[in-house]
Amino acid sequence: MVDFALATSAEVCAEIGARLRAQRLAQRLTQHELAARAGVNVGTVKNLEKKIMTASLESIVRVALVLGLADHLQPLFALQTKSIAQMEQAEHAKRLRAPSRKAR
């Protein structure tokens, strides 16, 4: 399993595609059946499973909804709130500029 925090965008896309494929197979759906239910082209499903970088967000959402993964979409990009202590810690950790180099 890929750690998304440490992965490249291509690795994240490949992992999401693999997970969508695994979900489809676990539900015993063909690519054609999934495409028909999601209202997308079968080529879109193939792209999602192989190279998700070319798929639209709407296609990803449609396929996820058909596969029953709507609850996994809910926390995506949710606003992360910070406590007062975290904000104070961030304030103290502000970066300082490096000293300028003197001309030689």
Q: Which of 2, 31, 30, 29 is nearest to 15 (CA)?
A: 2
pLDDT on residue 25: 95
pTM for this entry: 0.69
Which pLDDT score is estimated for 45? 94
- Mean pLDDT per 10-residue run, the chain (104 residues)? 80 87 94 96 92 80 92 82 75 68 67
What pLDDT, on the 0 to 100 scale, is given for residue 80? 75
Q: Is 63 exposed, middle or buried (0-12, 13-18, 19+ CB in 10 A)?
A: buried
Give the pLDDT score at 24. 92
Q: Which CATH architecture has domain 9-92?
A: Orthogonal Bundle (1.10)
Task: Give the three-class secondary structure for 78.
Answer: coil
- CA distances 10 to 1, 2, 33, 51, 56, Å, are 14, 11, 27, 8, 15
